[in-house]
């Protein structure tokens, strides 16, 4: 029997976040390559090979070359059990990324060396800062023309208010890119343009004092720049402090090229030493210790139809404490009853394997017959904990949709309801009108395209879509409020969500102010907790 403490101690669970096209999914694949989870790296857009990224499992992702939904991958590397959460970079899918970050203990932020910090990177960093989770920065695409590494670090420090500590340093960039220098171990990872990133690279041990070897490797000019840079960093840069890293106040920075595999292995090795095992979680005012033998977990994601052959729904759970055992009864807090989870799965994007056990820090998938919601808690029957719910973002774009084939009512309702339960969209209806149109609210308009695509391809339903002018939604606080009696502007709409809660849709902020002023005592909330 594996030792509980040892098993939890070796877990590392982190999310990879970035702006679109910064190279996040490519970095993920190279990490999997090192762990032996895949034998050859794919190409996200399918240019270099016919393969698609392992973590992009949805057909629409493969067509567009972007990550639309977060995916989970677990692999072993040098005694560590690693759980990677690959998240969508596009801002239209930021809600999925937010929920995924709730399940992570640390985050790897991927930045394009030519572009620096972009709007979505800024937003995701704020979410990490709210939870004080450690952030590791991978500055990518050094094999292309890039901004000065000093400018990039200064931007990180100014924008995010944290310190930076470069763990390695680039040797040139673009056509002059010669690799990276590992500051701690005094070694060079040398560039080879024919390598194409398909396997590991052997590092070359080389002291900065060994000018002859350095000149041979990178040339006299770059050797002079490198030695000056390292001297400046050692004298004027931040000092390395592991506690500051673990509190999210100092970000270790790694330079490299994920596509060409430069700087990836040093990043992984340093990262695993610096990150913590699973962190404690709050249950009300109580702290749930991950090493507590009692099992507890929360649902942070639900995904339907990952496998076309099964047409099932999978609830993704982050285990927060103890050990999960297959076929054992656990208590579903929100449902108020005991459940036996017979087919727990370990995931590699859309590939699955049934497992008998899992530990704190692990992400597992369980079959969901429609009873789980995002934010739900599961725990041992003897230990009633309840983790804080995950807030739902207020949608900013609204459309009315209806099916084109009147005979497909059941498929339409099932598809809309299942996709809404995943948290990708929010659905509303106008009560007491008898109108069959469904109002869909999304954080980003690309979600509407995904909805249309999935309804057609997964449920066989074509829809008509009519975009609406509403831009704001507010939940009405209190069950005693009768929305039909409220004094509202003519372009404000009363709707209900699929849980029967009352909401108001507004076209502009002025209408929100009107509603509050004309209805004394009315309370409105910008978001709801699942």
Q: Parallel, antiparallel, or unpaired: how do β-strands 345-348 and 281-283 relate?
A: unpaired
Q: Which residues contact 500 (CB under 8 A, 6 or more apart)?
A: none
> For 317-333, how does the pLDDT look when each residue is reduced to its tens digit (9 = 90+)?
899 999 999 888 999 99
- Whether the CB-CB separation of 202 and 196 falls below 8 Å is answered with no
- Whether the CB-CB separation of 174 and 143 falls below 8 Å is answered with yes
Burial class (CB in 10 A: 0-12, 13-18, 19+), 240: middle
C-alpha–C-alpha distance, residues 215 and 142, integer Å: 21
Q: Quote the pTM value.
A: 0.75
> For 64-101, how does the pLDDT look when each residue is reduced to its tens digit (9 = 90+)?
443 434 467 888 888 999 888 876 544 444 566 677 78
pLDDT of residue 517: 93
Query: 351: which strand partners?
Result: 348
- Quick one: what percent of the chain has pLDDT higher than 90? 20
> For 29-53, how does the pLDDT look when each residue is reduced to its tens digit (9 = 90+)?
888 777 665 544 443 333 333 344 4
C-alpha–C-alpha distance, residues 166 and 251, integer Å: 8
pLDDT of residue 92: 41
> For 220-240, how does the pLDDT look when each residue is reduced to its tens digit (9 = 90+)?
888 888 888 888 888 887 888
CA 45 vs. chain centroid, Å, equals 20
What domains, with CATH codes, occur in the chain?
14-68+107-274 (3.40.50.300), 281-379 (2.40.30.10), 391-529 (3.30.70.3280)
Mean per-residue pLDDT for 269-289? 88
């Amino acid at each position: 029997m594996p030792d509980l403490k040892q098993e939890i101690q070796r877990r590392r669970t982190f999310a990879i976040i970035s702006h679109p096209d910064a190279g996040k999914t490519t970095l993920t694949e190279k990490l999997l390559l090192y762990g032996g989870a895949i034998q050859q790296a794919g190409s996200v857009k399918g240019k270099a090979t016919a393969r698609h990224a392992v973590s992009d499992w949805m057909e629409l992702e493969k067509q567009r070359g972007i990550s639309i939904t977060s995916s989970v991958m677990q692999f072993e590397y040098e005694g560590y059990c690693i759980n990677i959460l690959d998240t969508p970079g596009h801002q239209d899918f930021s809600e999925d990324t937010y929920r995924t970050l709730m399940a992570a203990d640390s985050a790897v932020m991927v930045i394009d060396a030519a572009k620096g910090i972009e709007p979505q990177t800024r937003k995701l960093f704020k979410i990490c800062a709210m939870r004080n989770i450690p952030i590791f920065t991978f500055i990518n695409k050094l094999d292309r023309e890039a901004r000065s590494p000093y400018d990039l670090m200064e931007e990180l420090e100014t924008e995010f208010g944290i310190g930076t500590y470069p763990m390695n340093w680039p040797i040139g960039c673009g056509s002059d890119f010669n690799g990276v220098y590992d500051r701690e171990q005094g070694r060079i990872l040398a560039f080879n343009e024919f390598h194409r990133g398909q396997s590991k690279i052997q590092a070359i041990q080389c002291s900065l004092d060994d000018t002859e070897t350095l000149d041979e490797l990178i040339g006299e000019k770059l050797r002079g720049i490198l030695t000056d840079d390292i001297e400046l960093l050692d004298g004027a840069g931040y000092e390395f402090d592991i506690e500051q890293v673990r509190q999210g106040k100092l970000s270790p920075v790694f330079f490299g090229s994920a596509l060409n595999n430069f700087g990836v292995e040093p990043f992984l090795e340093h990262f695993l030493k610096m990150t913590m095992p699973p962190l404690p979680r709050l249950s009300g005012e109580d702290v749930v210790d991950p090493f507590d033998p009692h099992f507890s977990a929360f649902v942070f994601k639900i995904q339907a139809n990952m496998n076309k052959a099964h047409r099932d729904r999978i609830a993704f759970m982050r285990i927060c404490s103890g050990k999960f055992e297959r076929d054992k009864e656990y208590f579903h807090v929100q449902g108020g009853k005991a459940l036996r989870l017979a087919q727990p799965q370990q995931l590699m994007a859309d590939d699955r394997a049934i497992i008998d056990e899992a530990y704190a820090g692990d992400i597992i998938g369980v079959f969901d017959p429609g009873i789980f919601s995002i934010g739900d808690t599961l725990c041992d029957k003897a230990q009633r904990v309840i983790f804080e719910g995950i807030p739902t973002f207020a949608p900013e774009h609204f459309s009315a949709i209806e099916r084109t084939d009147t005979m497909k009512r059941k498929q339409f309702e099932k598809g809309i309801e299942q996709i809404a339960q995943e948290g990708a969209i929010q659905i509303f209806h106008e009560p007491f009108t008898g109108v069959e149109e469904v109002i869909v609210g999304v954080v980003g308009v690309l979600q509407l395209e995904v909805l249309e695509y999935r309804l057609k391809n997964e449920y066989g339903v074509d829809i008509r879509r009519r975009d609406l002018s509403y831009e704001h939604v507010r939940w009405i606080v209190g069950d005693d409020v009768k929305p039909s009696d409220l004094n509202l502007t003519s372009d404000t709409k009363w709707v209900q969500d699929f849980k029967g809660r009352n909401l108001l849709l507004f076209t502009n902020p002025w209408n929100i102010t009107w509603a509050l002023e004309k209805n004394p005592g009315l309370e409105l909330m910008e978001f709801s907790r699942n």
